[in-house]
Amino acid sequence: MATIKDIAREAQVSISTVSFAINGTGPVAPETKKRIMEVIERLNYHPSSSARGLVTRQSGNICLYVPHPKSNIFTFHDNNLINDMLQGIGESIDEKNYNLLLAWEQNEDDDDASKMMSLVHTRAVDGILFFNPTRNYKPIYELIKLKFPFVFMGSFFDNEPIDTVDIDNFEAGYRNTAHLIKLGHRKIGFVSPGPLHYLLADDRFEGYKEALKDNNIRYNDHYFHIGDNRETSGVEALDRFLSLKDPPTAIVAGRDIQAVGIKKRAMACSLIVPGDIAIVSFENSQLAENHDISSIRTDLFSIGREASKLLFKMIGRKKERQTQHIIIPAELVVRGSCGGKQETSVEE
């Protein structure tokens, strides 16, 4: 493997000149530069990332970190959405010539962040992208103390100087609910996309409640169900709602897969969607399209891209900066599951 010395010798210059030529950090005569570049090409030289990292104190890596116990990595979203997010990150790391390190904790303990902290302390990464963190996720305070760059993706952390990029889940929950109210519904169920300590879940839920309040509808605890990432959680939710003496006429599903479960179950019970039961959801994944479900578009590509862009700004910067909360727009894609503008459609 060629080193900078080999290049210097072959090009008959000093190693500092080679370094200047490569990085543009010093003046180099055009002919000299040309000669150096030719030798670099010929010897297929690439600077060692370790050597460079040692002196620049930058690893050239950022970390995509999933602060969940092992069972949950990447299962919180549809496959294509994860792909979108990676593409978004990919776009900006390519621009910066950075690499992406993927990390998570094997331990089931929620606040164990040993893997992440080890990455930080060994300086294996220059910044961290947090994917879908939980509320009150404590390990970040250590990062704040170290002034280590990080950005939260996929949720909002209130009252803390933490940079975030996300859709506004509160607003989305509000919008979905308001949409159903505008269509005449007053009895509206809500299925959370997951446990409420996930910010994303809680925010959607809060938005739902706020919309009810603004429309003088009293929140009814029986209309609330905690779901998860399986279709059956939608089925269970509907079953529970239908067992009530006064069941809801519309449901805000926490995520598309739940909406699918709800819709299938409703149809199996000979209920008309949206006639008997209207459904709106979040994500707008392939599932929503396939099953004709109205859903709020979650643009994970933009979230990934903006989050990494923001992270790079922090990595470059030495002086303090204002924390930023970047909100990615998220519109409701109206389909047949909630009635209203479009006519109902049947599928399957």
Partner DNA sequence: GTGAAAGCGCTAACAA
Partner DNA sequence: TTGTTAGCGCTTTCAC
Q: Which does 346 bind (CB under 5 to 8 A by kind): a copy of itself, DNA, none?
A: none
Instruction: Return the residue matching tokens 């995509």.
Output: 64
Helix, strand and coil percent figures for the chain, each rounded to 5: 45, 15, 40
Q: C-beta of 51: minimal distance to a copy of itself in Å?
A: 5
Q: Which helix (H) or strand (E) holds 289?
A: helix 286-290
Residue 32 binds which entry of DNA, a copy of itself, none, CB below 5-8 Å type-dependent = DNA
Residue of 126, 231, 256, 292 that binds a copy of itself (CB under 8 A):
231
Angle between helices 4-11 and 15-23 (to 10 degrees): 100
CA-nearest of 110, 103, 118 to 135 is 110
For DNA, the binding residues in 40-69 under the rule CB under 7 A are 45-48, 51-52, 54-57
Per CB under 8 A, which region of 29-37, 99-107, 178-186, 189-197 contacts a copy of itself? Answer: 99-107
Give me the phi and psi of 101, to 5 degrees please.
-105, 135
- Is 64 near a copy of itself (CB under 8 A)? yes
Q: Tell me: does residue 74 bind a copy of itself (CB under 8 A).
A: yes
Among 10, 20, 104, 129, binds DNA (CB under 7 A): 20
Binding-site size, DNA (CB under 7 A): 32
Does position 327 bind DNA by CB under 7 A?
no
CA distances from 265 to 205, 280, 311 (A): 23, 15, 43
* Sign of the CA dihedral with 156 first, then 159, 164, and 166 last: positive
Cα distances (Å, whole numbers) of residue 333 to 102, 135, 198, 217, 301: 32, 28, 24, 25, 17
Crossing angle of helices 79-96 and 300-316, rounded to 10° = 30
Partner from a copy of itself, DNA, none binding residue 64, C-beta < 5-8 Å depending on class: a copy of itself
Q: What b/e sequence results for 193-232 when a residue is b if at least 16 CB atoms lie within 10 Å of its CB, and e otherwise? A: bbebebbbbbbbbebbbbbbeeeebeeeeebbbbbbbebe
50 vs 322, which CB is nearer to a copy of itself?
A: 50
Binding DNA (rule: CB under 7 A), the pick from 25, 80, 136, 286 is 25
What's the CA gap between 77 and 335, in Å, rounded?
20
Residue 90 contacts which entry, DNA, a copy of itself, none (Cβ below 5-8 A, type-dependent): a copy of itself
**Residue 346 binding DNA, by CB under 7 A:** no
- Residue (46 or 70) nearer to DNA, CB: 46
Residues that bind a copy of itself (CB under 8 A): 1, 44, 46-54, 57, 59-61, 64, 70-71, 73-75, 78-80, 82-83, 86-87, 90-91, 94, 99-104, 106, 115, 118-119, 121-124, 230-231, 264, 268, 286, 290, 348
Residues near DNA (CB under 7 A) are: 1, 3-5, 12-17, 19-20, 22-23, 25-29, 31-33, 45-48, 51-52, 54-57
